[in-house]
């Protein structure tokens, strides 16, 4: 257990996230207690801020900086069970405390340096804990910075590795070019959420429910969804629709007739014919049939995802994917034969019990299929995932993600002629790495860039979705969320529409 005595709570999340990166799986307390491994303290002064790490008397890892010190007032252990503490490492930096963003960067950099000194190791992204590191580079490219200036800024401010800085700048430059045709002020994208899956994967925390429990009742969901789509179409009338994305869940969990009905509704309500792209997640191979793929083709869907996550059968069985490796290949070739020429495949690095040989095998199998894009994820275990919720059952599973795995996947994508075009990070990622989308030239998913960089309004409909409205001229963003539970979404659809009414202008 680690203690947090943070004088200004505005910086607590950043400090906690850095601690989680260096000490995964730890718990935290906001008082000094006997069972603490160590505790972190911040002190704000006139134009400066200090970060201190206190260890039990005697120091840790050979450090012995400063003498034993009294605890802050009111934070001592219970009487009769005294624990003395010693200052292990500390740093003080000058900062204009009225500038929250600048002060946060000072705090994070100092604390990152302290944790590196304490542990003898660093992180590939340095002190960066946010999910959109490429946004730093993209924003500055849009402002006219040259690449060398961006490199210097990211190195000095965040202490990120040269490899990750270069990757950020390469992707940001490609994003800038891909986004040039878009009208940020008037244009928008549409996300349609289908919260059903064949089964729930061990690591998954997305909004999804077993489709078997909704057999014969999906019409209730479609009725509510159509009502929200009708409202949204009315509010966005006259504005160019740039991209459409069907996600979930797994949209192809629905029966073919439901998929057809939704696509017909979209065509009636929106100007889908002029959209730059239309993606449908057919992620679970066990949800795909020839009939469903034909429905998608007949409606002009331009891009689909068929996501194995791994090509090792033992892992598929362990994580709850009720399909075989052979089924992945069969469904992929079925889609190819029906004319789909923009197929993405998702992979996850760091799946339970997988090692380098397993990753090599997966990449070899994927290379044989030759998809048009490849999205490589680093496993992130969220609170709502079964892998986290049932630790007593899964706690002994080995989860390992290494730089070699990430490098191998990147090399494989480039060998297939793909280029990285978008990147994002998540909390609790194995190895503290990132998710990267690679694609062949002309096959990048513009929606993926837009959802990460928050450059354009995305109107989202369906259970568990989030609408994000961008006001470019004001550099302002607002969001509203729909409830996740399907029954609640259906019964409260008017409330969901009311939430949109407050931000969709």
pLDDT tens for residues 437-484?
999 999 999 999 999 989 899 999 999 999 999 998 888 999 999 999
The residue assigned the tokens 């959109």 is 132
Res. 19: pLDDT tops 80: yes
Q: pLDDT band for position 390 (50/70/90)?
A: very low
Q: pLDDT band for position 398 (50/70/90)?
A: low
**What would the two tokens of residue 201 be?**
């994967």
Average pLDDT over residues 83-98: 86
H-state helical runs in 199-255: 218-235
pTM, two decimal places: 0.86
Q: In 347-372, which positions are buried (b, 16+ CB within 10 angstroms) versus exposed (e)?
A: bbbbbbebeeebbeebbebbeebebb
Res. 80: pLDDT tops 50: no
Fold of 188-501: pyruvate-formate lyase- activating enzyme (3.80.30)
More confident residue, 254 or 46: 254
Kindly report the backbone phi and psi dihedral angles of residue 225, in degrees, each rounded to the nearest multiple of 5, phi listed first: -60, -45
In this predicted structure, what is the pLDDT of residue 362?
A: 96
Listed range (9-23, 186-200, 426-440, 447-461) with the worst mean pLDDT: 426-440
> Cα angle vertex 275, ends 271, 281, to 5°?
110
Res. 315: pLDDT tops 50: yes
CA distances from 305 to 179, 327, 342, 410 (A): 21, 14, 9, 19
Res. 222: pLDDT tops 50: yes
Ramachandran quadrant class, 464 (left: phi over 0; alpha: psi -120 to 50; beta: rest): left
389, 410 contact by CB (below 8 A): no
> Can you give the residue ranges of every domain in the chain?
2-119, 133-179, 188-501
Q: Using CA atoms, how far apart are residues 88 and 77, in angstroms rounded to an integer? A: 19
Listed range (202-211, 242-251, 260-269, 471-480) with the worst mean pLDDT: 202-211
Listed range (236-250, 334-348, 374-388) with the worst mean pLDDT: 374-388
- Strands laid side by side in the 435-439 sheet: 419-424, 435-439, 373-378, 343-349, 303-305, 277-281, 241-248, 188-194, 457-461, 466-471, 476-481
Q: Using CA atoms, how far apart are residues 455 and 457, in angstroms rounded to an integer? A: 7
- pLDDT single digits (tens) 329-360: 999 999 999 999 999 999 998 888 888 999 99
In this predicted structure, what is the pLDDT of residue 69?
A: 41
The percent of the chain in helix, strand and coil, each rounded to the nearest 5, is 40, 20, 35
């Amino acid at each position: 257990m680690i203690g947090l005595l943070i004088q200004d709570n505005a910086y607590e999340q950043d400090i906690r996230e850095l601690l989680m990166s260096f000490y995964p799986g730890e718990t935290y307390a906001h008082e000094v207690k006997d069972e603490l491994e160590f505790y972190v303290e911040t002190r704000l002064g006139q134009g400066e801020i200090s970060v201190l790490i206190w260890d039990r008397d005697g120091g840790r890892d050979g450090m012995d900086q400063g003498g034993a010190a009294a605890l802050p007032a009111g934070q001592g252990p219970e009487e009769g069970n005294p624990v003395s503490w010693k200052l292990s490492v500390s740093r003080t930096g000058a900062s204009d405390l009225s500038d929250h963003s600048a002060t946060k960067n000072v705090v994070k950099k100092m604390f990152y340096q302290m944790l590196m000194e304490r542990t003898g190791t660093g992180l590939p992204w340095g002190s960066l804990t946010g999910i959109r590191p490429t946004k730093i580079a993209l924003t500055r490219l849009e402002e006219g910075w040259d690449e060398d200036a961006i490199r210097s800024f990211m190195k000095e401010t965040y202490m990120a590795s040269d490899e990750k800085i270069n990757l950020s700048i390469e992707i940001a430059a490609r994003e800038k070019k891909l986004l040039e045709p878009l009208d940020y002020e008037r244009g928008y994208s549409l996300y349609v959420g289908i919260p059903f899956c064949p089964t729930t994967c061990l690591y998954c925390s997305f909004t999804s429910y077993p489709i078997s429990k909704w057999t014969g009742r999906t019409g209730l969901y479609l009725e509510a969804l159509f009502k929200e789509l009708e409202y949204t179409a009315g509010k966005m009338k006259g504005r160019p629709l740039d991209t459409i994305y069907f996600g979930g869940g797994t949209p192809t969990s629905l029966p073919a007739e439901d998929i057809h009905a939704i696509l017909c509704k979209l065509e009636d309500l929106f100007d889908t014919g002029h959209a730059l792209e239309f993606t449908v997640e057919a992620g679970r191979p066990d949800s795909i049939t020839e009939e469903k793929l034909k429905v998608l083709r007949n409606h002009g869907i331009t891009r689909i995802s068929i996501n194995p996550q791994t090509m090792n059968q033992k892992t598929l069985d362990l994580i709850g994917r009720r399909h075989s490796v052979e089924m992945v290949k069969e469904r992929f070739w079925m889609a190819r034969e029906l004319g789909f020429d923009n197929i993405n495949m998702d992979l996850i690095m760091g799946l339970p019990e997988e090692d380098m040989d397993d990753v090599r095998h997966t990449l070899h199998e994927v290379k044989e299929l030759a998809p048009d894009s490849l999205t490589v994820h680093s496993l992130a275990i969220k609170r709502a995932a079964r892998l986290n919720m049932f630790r007593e059952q899964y706690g002994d599973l080995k989860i390992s993600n290494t730089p070699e795995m990430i490098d191998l996947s990147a090399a494989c994508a480039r060998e297939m002629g793909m280029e990285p075009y978008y990147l994002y990070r998540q909390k609790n990622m194995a190895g503290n790495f990132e998710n990267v989308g690679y694609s062949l030239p002309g096959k990048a998913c513009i929606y993926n860039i837009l959802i990460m960089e928050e450059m354009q309004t995305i109107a989202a409909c369906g259970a568990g979705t989030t609408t994000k409205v961008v006001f470019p001229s004001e550099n302002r963003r607002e969001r509203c969320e729909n409830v996740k539970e399907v029954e609640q979404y259906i019964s409260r659809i008017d409330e969901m529409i009311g939430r949109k009414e407050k931000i969709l202008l």
